[in-house]
Structures are given as C-alpha cells and as structure tokens.
Structure 1
Amino acid sequence: MKKITPILVLTTCLISACGGGGNKKVNAPFIESNNKDTLCAARAIPEGSTCVSVDGRENLVFGDTNKEYKGLILTLHGAPGYMAKVAGIFDASMLEEKGYLVISPNGNGSAWQWDSKTNSNTSDDTHYISNLIDYAHANYTINGDKARIFGYSAGGFMAYTLACQIPEKLEGIVSLAGQFRGDFNACTTATAVAIHHLHSPSDTDVPINGRAYGNIASVEDTLNHWLTINGCASQFEQTSHPAVTTSSSGTVTNTWQNCASPVASSKLFSVPHESDYLADKLYVIYQQSMALE
C-alpha cells in the first residue's frame, strides 16, 4: 500500500551510522579464487571472485574480462570489517549474475579503516576509489562510465564522502547503517546522486540520531542535505517492503518526489547493527532507486 505524505522536516527518517568501458585492456595480477588457501588482503577468497591488485591494494572482483556488464558496483566494508563480509551482505555473486561487475576494495590499505570524514581535502580513499572506477572501466566491458557504491556501516560513511567528493563518477549510493561524517559545509557539491539509506531504530552501534564521537551526523540531517542537493519536493511516497532479516517484522520505505536523482530512506524494524542480512530482500528494497534491472 502506498500513500503520499507531505512533510516539513524528516522526523520519521531513520538512519545513522558507527559509455562504454572502452576497448583498452590492461593485464592485472589475478589470484584464482577456487583455492580456499589463497588469500586476498589476508582473507580467504570467496567462491566466484578473484583477487586483483590495483595501486598497491588488493581487491575482490566478482566478474570476468570476457563478459559485458550493465554497470559497476563497489561494496565498501565496515570497521572493523573486511571485503568478503560486505560482499556477502550484498551478495556480490547474485549481483554479478544480474549483470553487474562487483568490486570490493580494501579501505586505506587495511581491513578496518576508511578516510570517511568529509572535510575540505579529498581523502586518500576517495582518490583510490576514483582510480579504481577508472581502472574497472578500462579493463572490463561496462555500460556507462560511472559506479554505484554500496556501503555498510563505516562503508556507508565512506559512500557519503564519495557522493560529496566525486559525484560526477557515481550513479548513486546505497548506505546500510552508516550516514554522513564530518562537516556539511565541506560538502558543497550541486551534483545530484541517487541516495538510498537503510537503517534500523534498534541500531545502537550507529544510532540514527548520530553521535559526537566520530563526528557522525543524524540520518535526518544527512537526508536533508541530499534532499536539497537533489531538488526534491517535501512529499514522499511510502511503501511496505520485505523484512531484511529472519527476525525482522518488515521494512517501510519513504521515497521523496520530484528529485533530480532519487532519495529514499528505509526503516528496518528490529534489526541490530550486526545482523544476518538477506541480500535478496535488500535488493528488492534498493533496486528501484538505484535503477537496477
């Protein structure tokens, strides 16, 4: 059931946090993934992936240079976290089967950190992600020249930093349990980027109201910032969506109207920060706002 509801402020928003690819092909060091003893950034490589080194960092890649892809998705891990974990949360193999090249990079040369606090300087991780997007389009056959960023927890923080610092390279971001960090005044972009934020009021690790430690903004303030950038109306459409864990009672999504690029916020009922997320249910929720087929 759907309804259109006018709002003045985002008091019901929940969420907070802890043209072608071209023909140029460049040889990269691949590590075969069918050997579980083989490591990528000190972790076992999941089935269906390879380990690729770019600019001195190892990345999990779910894809093949011999295939043609609808788009590029980067999944960003939490802190502490690692590439295979976030690839599992969003099910990178499922996304690759749906026609998307998926890369899970490593934050800041480690398995636990991103330079995700937005300020006037472009972070090292932003430079790396920008180069990684260019690398992917130079070495794989991908429709378009942009990327979608899927971040969990600290990876969600980083997704918002990227939306501020390299919006011209992004189709959109999905942030699960992670919002904006830093100074909104340092995020002066006027470039609209699709936003879908998923969060639970039950999340005590990364509260929806934000926290002073880590300079983490509230979800309300985070979304208000992009509602302005994306030129959205004050009305939103509310939709019921599936539960994202086996113990959750469901999800309610607000999608704002008349945006230059979509802005949506999903409330996950009774979902702790660390959960066994159902990737196929998450996909149903963010699919439309990310324009995925």
Structure 2
Amino acid sequence: MIRAVAMAVAAVFAGQASYAACADQDGACQTDSGAYHIELPKADNPPLVVFLHGYGGSGTGTMKNRSMVEPLLARGYAVMAPEGLERPSRPGIKSWNFYPGFGDRDETAFLTEVVDDAAERFGIDRDRVILGGFSAGGFMVNYLACDAPETFSAYVPVSGGFWRPHPETCEGPVRLFHTHGWIDNVVPLEGRLLGGGRFHQGDIFAGLEIWRLANGCVDTKPSGFSTTGPFMRRYWSGCADGSALEFALFPGGHTVPKGWADMMVDWYEGLPGG
C-alpha cells in the first residue's frame, strides 16, 4: 500500500515536471536572455501560442493550466510559456517590463529570441505565432502590440490592457482579441489605483478606442455581436487591411476562463492567413 501511494505521488510530480520541460528534454529551454517551457503537438511545423504568465506567476505555472494547454495541443498548436524576470524591487517576484521601473530586459527582443530558438530547435512555424498573456502578461501583450505589431501574427490578451496614462497612439494594423471577466476586481474593466496611487490601471474600453484608431476603423460602433458559450463577443470591421479587433466578456473574475483556448483558435483560424 505504501509503495503504491509512493508511486502515485511520484507519478504526479513526474507529470508536473513534464509540464515545465523543454519539449522532451529535461528542464527549461535556455536562451541568452532568459528561459521558456514548451510542449509540442503531434504535428510537423506547428503554429505556436506564446502565453505570458501574470504578476508573481511563472512559466511553469502556466504550463500546469491544463484546461488551456491541452485544447491548444489538441488543435495542433505548440504552447510556449516564457519566464518573466524578477523585479529589481521585489526579489522572487516575476513579471514583465512594460512599465518604467519594472525591469531592464527588452521584452520584444527576448520574446523574438525565444520564438526563433523554438523555430530552430523544434520546427515551429515562425509565420504563425500568437502572443497571449494573462493579467500582467496581458498588459505586456498590449504594450508590445502597440509598439511593434508586426512582431507576431496576432495578439490575444486576457485580463490585461494598458496603464494610465494610456498611450496616445499605437502602431497598426494589429490583429487583437481581448478577453475579460465581467466581475474582475484585480484588473477591473475601469482600472484601479495601485501602490498608494503611484500606479493606475487603465480603462479597458479606452484601450479598445486606441486599437480602433490604430486599425483605422470607420466607426466606434461594433460591427456585430455573437455569443460562444458564456462569452459575449463584439467585433469591429470596416478597418484597415490586415487588421482585426474583437472583445469578449465572460461572467467571471480574474482568470483564464475555460473554453477560451478553442474560442481563440477559432477566431485566429477565421482570419485571412490564420
């Protein structure tokens, strides 16, 4: 009995370790600027979803979110979870350098580096790479898309937008699908004050206005509405060639909701060239 329990526990830990590995290799994949974890589908030259963890999280933790990872693998997508760097002022706490004082690493260069590394090691399709992220990772996605939208083929932030002051403008066109919880009180739709008022999360709807301008949309009014399970969706058309903009609300809080992965892939594969 004791031996059986021990074997079961060992199996659990072995499974967790596999979630944090470098494909079929032990440990994380290392590059000059950092590290990443990756799982591959049973397909050659697969597309890739790069997903950035939230504040205080880790790439290891991202890969343990099996309700997100496994549907992506089943759809033929590789899944990558890079590691954020520890903040200089908060040892042991990992996040992303999207705001002054949050770190020194050039995250666009780092994320380009890890994708190029994965393309060389594992045959990832470099032309079909989606950048997603949750919470602080979602903020990072928005800022990278704002500054360098050509870096990835699409951007899919969850529960993260911009900080105040909002960017005056963003580059475009961009293909972006933002998902947010209706009762999110960590990153509320309207934003909130943090750090005794030193930081102010931005308004998600103000961010959508910035993206409409970047995409040259002819109207502020959504072009259409739909529902997918619990998700209430709206999108804008009549925008610049090569752009796409959609917003999905779900009746939950600060989380990556179940069903998000398949909904996101359906959206991406419905885009020209997706």
TM-score, normalisation: structure 1: 0.71
Q: Partner of 1:221 in structure 2?
A: 206
- Which ranges of structure 1 fall in alignment gaps of 5 or more residues? 1-33, 243-249
Q: Distance in 2 between matches of 1:129 and 1:36?
A: 30
SS at match of 1:142: coil
In the superposition, relative to structure 1, how do residues 91 and 251 fare at CA in structure 2: closer, same or farther (>3 Å)?
A: closer
Total equivalences in the alignment: 243
CA distance in 2, matches of 1:224, 1:232: 10
User: Residue 165 of structure 1: CA displacement?
Assistant: 2.9
2:190 paired with 1:206: no
**Structure 1 position 159 matched with structure 2 position 144:** no
CA distance in 2, matches of 1:256, 1:106: 33
Aligned to 1:238: 225
Deviations 1:129-173 (A, max 9, x none): 121122222333233435211111111001112112332111111
- What's the CA shift string for 1:162-201, capped at 9, x where partnerless? 1123321111111111112355447542x32211111122
Q: Is 2:120 the partner of 1:143?
A: no
Amino acid at match of 2:77: Y
Superposed, 1:38-187 pairs within 5 Å as: 44-46=17-19, 50=23, 51-55=28-32, 57-63=34-40, 67-87=43-63, 88=65, 91-108=68-85, 112-117=94-99, 124-145=106-127, 147-181=129-163, 183-185=165-167
Check whether the contact 2:20–2:38 (CA below 8 A) recurs between aligned residues: no
Larger deviation, residues 54-63 vs 151-160: 54-63
Offset at residue 258 of structure 1 (A): 2.2
- SS of alignment partner, residue 132 of structure 1: helix
Taking CA–CA contacts closer than 8 Å with sequence separation of 6 or more, which of the two structures ends up with the larger relative contact order?
Answer: 1
Identity, % of aligned pairs?
A: 21
Structure 2 gap segments, 5+ residues each: 1-9, 87-91
Distance 1:67 1:251, change over 3 A: closer
Q: As a proportion of its length, which structure holds more helix?
A: 2
SS of the residue aligned with 2:248? strand
Displacement after TM superposition at 1:37 (Å): 5.5
- CA RMSD in angstroms comes to 3.2
CA shift at 1:103, angstroms?
0.9
- Alignment partner of 2:244 out of 262, 266, 272: 262
Q: Is the 8 A contact 1:171 1:290 kept in 2?
A: no
Range 170-179 or range 205-214, more displaced:
205-214
Structure 2 vs 1, CA of residues 144 and 56 (structure 1 numbering), >3 Å: closer, same or farther? closer
Cα contact 2:191–2:203 (8 A) shared by 1: yes
Aligned in 2, Cα 1:118/1:258: closer, same or farther, shift over 3 Å? farther
- Which one-letter code corresponds to 1:142 in the other structure? I
